[in-house]
């Protein structure tokens, strides 16, 4: 009489299925890590651009500058990033105020605006 013993170990098919499952999970996690890295660098660029724009608007407030109408552009690097600040001064319905808009662009891609901030600037000769 022959006794049958239960088979020990895994079949080749079971091993291949397990490898496919593990490979799929690793691929998904690598994609997620790559996405997080890309989002992190985008957030950093946005934060640096915000600081550059806020610096210019704070400079106008602190020096009580009443900027002339028109557009100006200058380099405004921040945190090792090459940025360009574009400032536009516009009229408001009240002639004693001007609207200052500061847009910050990526110097490597001028079409990519990172942020745009605006503020109303009073005429310093009219304030006490």
| CATH numbers and ranges of domains, the chain | 13-122 (3.30.1300.30)
Match 């009240």 to its residue by tokens: 94
Residue 50 pLDDT: 93
Residues of the chain with pLDDT under 50: none
Does the pTM surpass 0.85? The reply is no
Strand ranges across the sheet with 83-91: 70-75, 83-91, 97-106, 109-122
pLDDT in tens, 57-76: 999 999 999 999 999 999 99
């Amino acid at each position: 009489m022959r006794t049958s013993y239960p088979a020990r170990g895994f079949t080749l098919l079971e091993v291949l299925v397990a490898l496919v499952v593990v490979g799929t999970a690793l691929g998904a996690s690598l994609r997620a890590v790559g996405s997080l890295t890309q989002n992190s660098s985008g957030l950093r660029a946005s934060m640096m651009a915000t600081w550059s724009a806020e610096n210019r608007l704070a400079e106008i407030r602190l020096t009580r500058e009443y900027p002339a109408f028109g557009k100006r552009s200058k380099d405004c690097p921040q945190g090792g990033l090459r940025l360009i600040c574009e400032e536009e001064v516009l009229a408001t319905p009240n002639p004693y105020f001007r609207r200052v808009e500061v847009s910050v662009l990526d110097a490597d891609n001028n079409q990519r605006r990172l942020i745009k901030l605006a503020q109303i600037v009073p005429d310093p000769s009219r304030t006490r």
